[in-house]
Amino acid sequence: MEIFELKPYLEAMLMAADRAVTLPALAQSLDVSEAEVEAALEEFEADLMAADRGVQVRHRGGGVRLEMKPQFSDRIGRLLPDRKQKPLSSQALETLAIVALKQPVALGDIDAIRGVASAATLETLRQRQLIARQARLGPRREKLWRTTPLFLDTFGLASLEELYQAGRMEVVFTPVYGVEMGEEAAVESEFAEGTMPDALREPS
């Protein structure tokens, strides 16, 4: 199958899927090689970058999916208000930042870093499906928490490794990550030592 023939199939499949789809799954469904899917997908991505297209291809958790372009989210929120969730509070973002950086992490460790009880905030994040319990228990028989694939989708990340790229933490956790560019190494060091950077603390 030629690339121009593959592209409409890819568009239909990605529109029908409600999650990221892997290249092997697409190749198997289309009876072509992964290399052919990758070539067609690359051209399809370029097509969607045009200003008159409202969706884009995004790489998510080892797969690809179609998403609306960010500039159209406000209008879509007006049309479908039920799909527009309330923004996370600064406390929730602070807790989510700790989970993202230290996962898998126990409630006791999160409380120690934040200096306040975090169980209710963790439950909010769990209900939003941004975090989930790790299968194994911690050394003190505590449940461990980790981020979910929806966390990656929500914050536009292809993988957790992107969090450690220069400046990425400031973009993901803008409301509570008030440090200057170039200080992310110091911030990550403070997290590693089990202390909360001043920029992420709630005002007293």
Q: Is residue 116 located within the same domain as residue 170?
A: yes
Assess if residue 85 is contained within a domain: no
Tell me the residue range of the domain where 16 lies. 3-78
Residues 6+ apart with CB under 8 A from 165: none
Assess if residue 107 is contained within a domain: yes
CATH code of 39's domain: 1.10.10.10
Q: Is residue 110 located within the same domain as residue 185?
A: yes
Residue at which a domain ends, from 47, 78, 109: 78
Do 28 and 72 contact (CB within 8 A), yes or no?
Answer: no
Q: Which amino acid is at 131?
A: I
The dihedrals phi and psi of 136, each to the nearest 5 degrees, come to: -90, 160
pTM above 0.75, yes or no: no
Q: Is residue 120 located within the same domain as residue 41?
A: no
Q: Is residue 106 located within the same domain as residue 193?
A: yes
Assess if residue 9 is contained within a domain: yes
Assess if residue 51 is contained within a domain: yes
Residue at which a domain ends, from 52, 78, 104: 78
Q: Is residue 147 located within the same domain as residue 94?
A: yes
Q: Is residue 41 located within the same domain as residue 104?
A: no
- CA distances to 1, 12, 58, 169 from 69, rounded to whole Å, are 29, 18, 10, 21
**166 SS3 class:** coil
Nearest CA to 97 among 184, 6, 204? 184
Tokens at 179, concatenated:
């440090």
Q: Is residue 94 located within the same domain as residue 190?
A: yes
Q: Is residue 98 located within the same domain as residue 175?
A: yes
The per-residue pLDDT string of the chain (204 residues; one tens digit each, 9 = 90 and over) reads 899 999 999 999 999 997 889 999 999 999 999 999 999 999 999 999 998 999 999 887 678 989 888 788 888 888 887 766 677 888 898 899 999 989 999 999 999 998 999 999 999 999 888 999 987 776 667 789 999 888 887 787 878 888 877 677 777 777 555 533 333 333 344 443 434 333 333 333
Assess if residue 167 is contained within a domain: yes
Domain count, the chain: 2
Q: How many residues does the chain have?
A: 204
Q: Is residue 160 located within the same domain as residue 97?
A: yes
Residue at which a domain ends, from 78, 109, 132: 78
Q: Is residue 48 located within the same domain as residue 70?
A: yes
